[in-house]
Structure 1
Amino acid sequence: MRTKTPEKRKTAIIIGAGPAGLTAGIELLRQTDIIPILLEEKDCVGGLSRTVFYHGNRMDIGGHRFFSKDPDIMKWWTTLLPLQGSPAQDDLLTPCMKTFVPGGPDPEKEDRTILLRRRISRIFYLKKFFDYPVTFNAKTILNLGLGRTVRAAIGYLRATLSKRPELSLQDFYINRFGRPLYKMFFEHYTEKVWGVHPSVLGADWGAQRVNGLSIKALLKNMLVRKKRTPGDIRQKDTEKSLIENFLYPKFGPGQLWETATQEIERDEKGTILLMHRLVGIHYEDGLIRSITAATPDGHVDIPCDYVLSSMPVKDLVSTFTGITVPPEVFSVATSLPYRDFITVGILVDRLKIKHNGQPPTFGNRIPDTWIYIQERDVRIGRLQVFNNWSPYLVEDYRHCIWLGLEYFCNENDELWNKTDRDFISMAIGELVHIGILEDETHVKDSTIVREKKAYPAYHGSYRRLKEVTDWLDRIPNLYCIGRNGQHRYNNMDHSMLTAMEAVAHIRDGKTDKQDIWNINTEQEYHERKKH
């Protein structure tokens, strides 16, 4: 009797080992018999969601709150890293009202755990703290002054009575907040982040990132927030910008993606190739048949049946051989704009600014995870306080405060090209100037991290992006996923959902890829929730 030769298993090349790529790898193993092979050009996984280790301290590049209205995503995270069952270090040092999971890991004794964190973010404007999003209370009115408050109220009423056509992000914000509040809290900060005026940016950026955020949503949230139990992560009907609690890995976001890597590579089920940069996608007879990657030792060719790409669209179109990219598609794709990002890590022994309100904090330190710096005379955009993300990001939590100063720039501009020494000196000087830090003598250590193509931008050739995506979709076994893979400023959970949807298409043999692109663009996908 002749033994039947088993069919050769199919392989999928996944370009990029960030949240989208790693999610795709795990879901392929869970839902199909396809072998995932991930290519990552860096020497670590996680992409923008990686954790950077420096002199015993850990940096979260960009700040990543783990919260989603999709319960499958929440379950995905807590399956890899179970939710804490006992107080963390900072919980033990201050009054704690969190609800812990019975039988969950003790973060003081176990590393593989995800923490329940309280979300506190504020705006620093006029050298005063404002709630983010701005709430209408006595403190806000006192900080703004009567004149600004009256102008804001009148502006909001006008915007309510007369809506503008939403042709730009400026229109989007004015319709929801009125012109005075837009001028105070959105115009300059948006320009600082993106390098262009909000009138140039597409309104769909707002639809993706803050679609449910408005004065009406703020008032509704103020009415219902008292009903929630402190530490309750179930905030299904809350707009994402208004959540009060979120999950966070003990050692930062990179810990979760490193755990995902172990899941993929366990028992040699999948492969992750670091320091492998995609340089060629080879098309033949209507399909992608193989890819070429550059490595420290040369080049390697890998055959494949599918390609899932989370690399920037701008770079992807330059890699094809065996198929001609139409000149107009190539022109639009290669001119897509991005915003680059620099984080300065500064370790200090104390801050000049103190916290004397609620919630109580260790040493009266400010409680914020990050602070939006709205002051117009400094270039810093946001200030992260890593102690408040997780006490385990800081080697000496009791005696040091570990800060991340975030700057937005374009590759090879004046900011990007500053020497590390000059940039760090500028950053410290700005903290002193706005009164966060007393003087440079309190700085104990510092470092700097530059990140290219951190934010896909919504201007220029972006308005013709559909010409590119329509062409890419004609390649049957190519799937674009994630933030850069779709040139969309997705949240982490949305990037994961694009990967899950792509795997579902492969599993079910679907040919129409529109559902993958629709995630975080159509209402049913926007921060979707399941009942």
Structure 2
Amino acid sequence: MQNSDIVIIGGGVAGLIAGIELIKSGKSVTILEKESTVGGQCKTEVLKVGDKEFRFDYGGHRFITNNQKLLNFVEEILDDDLLTSQRSSVILHQNRVYEYPLNLKNLLRVAPIKLLIGASFDTIKIILKITPRDDTNFKTWISSRFGKSLYEHFFAPYTKKLWGIKPELLSADWAGQRISLIDLKDVVKKLFAKSKKTARTYAKSYRYPKYGFGQLPLKMAEEFEKLGGKIFVNEEVLSFVVMDNNIDTIRTTNHTFKANKIISTMPLNEMSTKLRFNSGLGFRSLRFLCLGLSIKDFSPHTWQYVSDYNLLPTRIQEPKRRSPFMAPSGESSIMLEIPCNKDDEIWKMNDEKLLEIVKKDLKKLNFDVEDKIIDYFSFTTQHAYTMMDINYNKKRDETIKYLNKFKNLIMAGRQGTFRYIFLDTAMETGLMAADLVLGKNITKEQIYNHRNEKIVIETNNIGE
């Protein structure tokens, strides 16, 4: 039996920062991680080819914050290994390249005349309020703000591919929290004048670890253990023993743990299942196909969004655009993000077959890497996106109400609160969970709904 004041389930950045904060306050803290290493969704995988290393993150993490305490913490942990990077993004659609964010000169030069005419009529309808606002679902939210033309060309195919469901079955929350401009009127304003504020989804400058984002949780784990904390890896939580509405005992793969308080970043639906409640919540998964390339540059862009529904990837990333240390000198790499569901055809497909499909898709996008591939591999993440269907809020509220019955359980982090939030916000929920344990003026509800704005956050990035 392992005993401590606090057990933290999950060794991602939210759990680690909570552990560091608590142990600095004199508490004994144990972190349980089901994988063989810490990091959660912030790990970095390495493709080794001889003495060369190509590095690939789990997704497109950037560190952007307006929280000075958090920025100070990350700068101290990473020290000289924290770089400042510049983002360049484009949208690939029907063999055309659109700048992101929108640029008037680029649109007039690139977009087909039919799209420009349709978008112009849509703008007039929106300005004259002929098309009323409609927040019923993702489709109506977009169509009533951006018009039918842009919805059908860009938003509908990309969204259906990303989520695996029809856009009308997706909550409007996804659009409100992730699309920086509110409607076509704002697009026009953005095209002709620079705003003093920068939307987080548009922020060009950001902080990034020298050797990939996985470097951050590894450094945090070192700090946690140096302060006296204990980390148990390969320890999947199997079950709980509950007494008097408190979780008394945690049973894992190899041990049994007891603690006065439990902070969990385990996915909300999995925690509820282990505590005998079916949440009905789910996640969309991702498979990452990673290619080491014998070329100096693949493109000038960090991200390239692939909106065509008939092409498998949703996004192509070139890791060296974040840090030159992500690929060997004189060479590069790309990572293709492919949405899927756990155990579906894409999830289980062997790497060779997947590569053949993706090479054909790349050729359709005018990228021929056939004779440039040094080596390749793939990896998956099950809990990439919280499935924000039109009923998710109701299901989430019911799950939270049930879990709040367990007095010593605190949920935090992106998966633990079932929120598709930015990295700094996930870390802030970890700090809030620590504050709650320490008796500060924080509630569970505040953690669950931290920065739960209905529209995308405008912020000054103090890390620039």
TM-score (norm 2): 0.91
Check whether the contact 2:65–2:461 (CA below 8 A) recurs between aligned residues. no
Q: 1:302 aligns with which of 247, 257, 262?
A: 257
1:147 CA drift (Å): 2.6
Check whether the contact 1:59–1:345 (CA below 8 A) recurs between aligned residues. yes
1:246 aligns with 2:239: no
1:217 CA drift (Å): 5.0
- Take 1:404 and 1:170, find their aligned partners in 2: how far apart are those partners? 29
Closer, same or farther: CA 339–115 of 1 in aligned 2, 3 Å? same
| CA deviation map 1:418-469 (0-9, x unaligned) | 11221122222221232112x5122111111111122110127624220110
Check whether the contact 1:386–1:394 (CA below 8 A) recurs between aligned residues. yes
Letter in 2 for 1:81: L
Greater CA drift, 216-225 or 451-460: 216-225
Check whether the contact 2:284–2:385 (CA below 8 A) recurs between aligned residues. yes
- 1:152-167 paired onto structure 2 within 5 Å: 152-160=119-127, 161=129, 162-167=131-136
Letter in 2 for 1:270: G
- Take 1:169 and 1:523, find their aligned partners in 2: how far apart are those partners? 13
Check whether the contact 1:313–1:486 (CA below 8 A) recurs between aligned residues. yes
- 1:199-238 paired onto structure 2 within 5 Å: 199-210=168-179, 214-215=183-184, 217-218=186-187, 237-238=197-198
- 1:123-142 paired onto structure 2 within 5 Å: 123-135=91-103, 137-142=104-109
1:391 corresponds to? 324
1:264 aligns with 2:224: yes
1:180 corresponds to? 149
Check whether the contact 1:519–1:526 (CA below 8 A) recurs between aligned residues. no
1:171 CA drift (Å): 2.3
Check whether the contact 1:337–1:460 (CA below 8 A) recurs between aligned residues. no
Q: 1:518 aligns with which of 428, 431, 449?
A: 449
Q: 2:140 aligns with which of 140, 146, 171?
A: 171
Check whether the contact 2:133–2:145 (CA below 8 A) recurs between aligned residues. no
- Take 2:199 and 2:373, find their aligned partners in 1: how far apart are those partners? 37
Q: 2:374 aligns with which of 444, 447, 451?
A: 444
- Take 1:528 and 1:500, find their aligned partners in 2: how far apart are those partners? 20
- Take 2:264 and 2:460, find their aligned partners in 1: how far apart are those partners? 26
* 2:371 match: secondary structure: helix
Check whether the contact 1:429–1:440 (CA below 8 A) recurs between aligned residues. no
* 2:256 match: secondary structure: strand
Check whether the contact 1:156–1:179 (CA below 8 A) recurs between aligned residues. no
Closer, same or farther: CA 411–402 of 1 in aligned 2, 3 Å? same
Closer, same or farther: CA 194–523 of 1 in aligned 2, 3 Å? closer
1:311 aligns with 2:266: yes
- Take 1:202 and 1:523, find their aligned partners in 2: how far apart are those partners? 12
Letter in 1 for 2:413: G
1:44 aligns with 2:13: no
Greater CA drift, 197-206 or 424-433: 424-433
Closer, same or farther: CA 341–524 of 1 in aligned 2, 3 Å? closer
Closer, same or farther: CA 276–409 of 1 in aligned 2, 3 Å? same
- 1:321-400 paired onto structure 2 within 5 Å: 325=276, 330-331=277-278, 333=279, 335-350=280-295, 366-395=299-328, 397-398=329-330, 400=331
1:275 aligns with 2:242: no
Letter in 2 for 1:285: D
Letter in 2 for 1:337: G
* 1:252 match: secondary structure: coil
Letter in 2 for 1:465: R
- Take 2:143 and 2:94, find their aligned partners in 1: how far apart are those partners? 21
Identity percentage over the alignment? 26
Check whether the contact 2:35–2:233 (CA below 8 A) recurs between aligned residues. yes
Check whether the contact 2:10–2:32 (CA below 8 A) recurs between aligned residues. yes
1:187 CA drift (Å): 0.8
Letter in 1 for 2:137: S
1:11 CA drift (Å): 1.6
* 1:253 match: secondary structure: coil
Greater CA drift, 71-80 or 338-347: 71-80
1:101 corresponds to? none
Letter in 1 for 2:306: I
- Take 2:377 and 2:215, find their aligned partners in 1: how far apart are those partners? 21
- Take 1:187 and 1:482, find their aligned partners in 2: how far apart are those partners? 29
Moved over 6 A (4+): 527-531
1:194 CA drift (Å): 0.2
Q: 2:432 aligns with which of 485, 488, 501?
A: 501
- Take 1:497 and 1:163, find their aligned partners in 2: how far apart are those partners? 37
1:300 CA drift (Å): 0.8
Q: 2:118 aligns with which of 144, 151, 174?
A: 151
1:411 aligns with 2:342: yes
Letter in 2 for 1:195: G
- Take 1:25 and 1:133, find their aligned partners in 2: how far apart are those partners? 38
| CA deviation map 1:172-205 (0-9, x unaligned) | 2223322211222111101100001111111112
| CA deviation map 1:234-261 (0-9, x unaligned) | x8x3111111111110001001111111
Check whether the contact 2:265–2:411 (CA below 8 A) recurs between aligned residues. yes
1:287 aligns with 2:234: no
Closer, same or farther: CA 198–76 of 1 in aligned 2, 3 Å? farther
1:412 CA drift (Å): 1.7
Letter in 1 for 2:333: W
- Take 1:214 and 1:155, find their aligned partners in 2: how far apart are those partners? 10
TM-score (norm 1): 0.80
* 1:402 match: secondary structure: strand
- Take 2:426 and 2:41, find their aligned partners in 1: how far apart are those partners? 12
